[in-house]
Amino acid sequence: MTDKHPDAPVPEKGNPIRPPLEGQDSGSLIVKSSLRAWEANDVDTLNSLLTNDFTFSGPVPQPLNKVEFIGFMQAVLAVYPNFAFNERSITEQGDLISVTFCITGTHTGTLSLPGLPSIPATGEVVASPIEVQHFRVSGGKIMAVVAELVPQGVIPKLLTQLGVRE
């Protein structure tokens, strides 16, 4: 069961993905591109898909801006180099794109974040429960991502190991 983030936009159920308009990218294609960029550690592509005032909130102690989010991606990929989102569904409603996925990865790197203890590689293969993130897209770029809090998700698990979350 997921706890919805209080600011999470909630889409109407059953709204299918609409095809992109000719000459324009649909929000869902932009979001898919951002997920592939994350998995490939493609900083340039991810940077180009996010607005300058981008925010990410949900399983992190406080919202992250664009620079912090990209740094967060790099830290996660240093720990889980084979990190994958494994999307289950994508729905699009206006500028809101919701993605349901199951994160997988193998903990093969040491997690080192400033001011927090390091977590050495465990070799543990992780698979999160089903998670949902809501992306707000405007002008061909992602403005915000709100991740619903899943207590046993990959990111909360890492934060618990670091002592940031209980």
Read off the pLDDT of residues 40-92 as tens digits, 9 standing for 90 and up.
999 999 999 999 999 999 877 899 999 999 998 998 899 899 999 999 999 99
C-alpha closest to that of 78 among 45, 15, 120 = 120
For residue 154, what pLDDT is reported? 62
Distance CA 145, CA 39 (A): 16
* 42 CB-near residues (< 8 Å, 6+ apart): 36
- Confidence check: pLDDT of 35 > 80: yes
Residues counted in the chain = 166
For residue 161, what pLDDT is reported? 56
Read off the pLDDT of residues 13-28 as tens digits, 9 standing for 90 and up.
343 333 344 444 589 9
User: b or e along 59-89 (b: 16 or more beta carbons within 10 Å of the residue's beta carbon)?
Assistant: bbeebbebeebbebbebbbebbeebebeeee
Phi–psi pair at 116, nearest 5 degrees: -125, 155
Read off the pLDDT of residues 88-146 as tens digits, 9 standing for 90 and up.
999 999 999 999 999 899 989 987 766 677 888 888 888 888 899 999 999 999 999 99
For residue 53, what pLDDT is reported? 97
For residue 101, what pLDDT is reported? 94
What structural domains and CATH numbers belong to the chain? 27-161 (3.10.450.50)
For residue 34, what pLDDT is reported? 97
pTM score of the predicted model: 0.76
In this prediction, residue 37 has a pLDDT band, given cuts at 50, 70 and 90, of very high
